[in-house]
Amino acid sequence: MQEDIAMGRGDWDGLDANPRSGALERAGLRATVRKALSTEQVQQVLAQQMPVMFAYTYRNISDADLVGYVAFLNSVAGKRYQDAMNGTLIEGLGRASVQLGELAGQRLRQTSM
C-alpha cells in the first residue's frame, strides 16, 4: 500500500520539478495528488487485489512450505526481514517514481517548445 502511495506521489513530485512552475502551482498540484491518493482508498483497492495476487504468486508452493514461510514471517527474524524488504521496496519505488516524473517533465518541456 505504501509502495503505491510513494510511487504515485513521486511521479507527481518529479513532474512537478518543472522550473517554470511557481511554488503555489506546485503546492496545489501536490495537494491534489495527495487527496486523490488517500491511504484509505489505496488500502481498499489493495485489500481486494492482494488475495488474487497472492494466490497467483504462491500457486506452485506446497501447503507445507507456505506454513513454514508464514511461521518464519511471524518470527523475530522474519519480522526484521519483512521490515527491511518493505523499507527497501518503498524507498526504491519512491526514487524510481521521482526519476520517472523528472523524465516525464523533461519530455513535456521538449515537446512543448
Residue 36 domain boundaries: 2-111
In the three-class reduction of DSSP (H, G, I as helix; E, B as strand; rest coil), residue 41 is classed as helix
pLDDT of the residue at 23: 62
What is the reported pLDDT for 113? 63
Amino acid in position 48? Q
Residue 29 has pLDDT above 70, yes or no: no
Taken in order 40, 42, 45, 49, the sign of the CA dihedral is: negative
Q: For residue 53, what are the CA distances in angstroms to 25, 58, 70?
A: 38, 9, 17
- The CA–CA distances, whole Å, from 109 to 8, 32, 72, 101, 106 equal 21, 22, 49, 12, 5
pLDDT digits (tens, 9 = 90+) for 5-20: 444 554 455 554 555 5
Q: What is the chain's mean pLDDT, rounded?
A: 79
CA–CA distance, 64 with 81 (Å, rounded to integer): 21
What pLDDT score does 39 carry? 74
Q: What is the pLDDT at residue 25?
A: 63
Q: What global pTM score does this model have?
A: 0.51
Q: For position 6, what pLDDT does the model report?
A: 47
In this predicted model, what pLDDT tens digit does every residue of 55-88 receive, in sequence order? 999 999 999 999 999 999 999 999 999 999 999 9
Number of domains making up the chain: 1
> Is 101:13 a contact under the CB 8 Å cutoff?
yes
Q: How many Å apart are CA 78 and CA 17, to the nearest integer?
A: 39
Residue 96 contacts residue 10 (beta carbons within 8 Å): yes
% residues pLDDT > 90 (the chain): 35
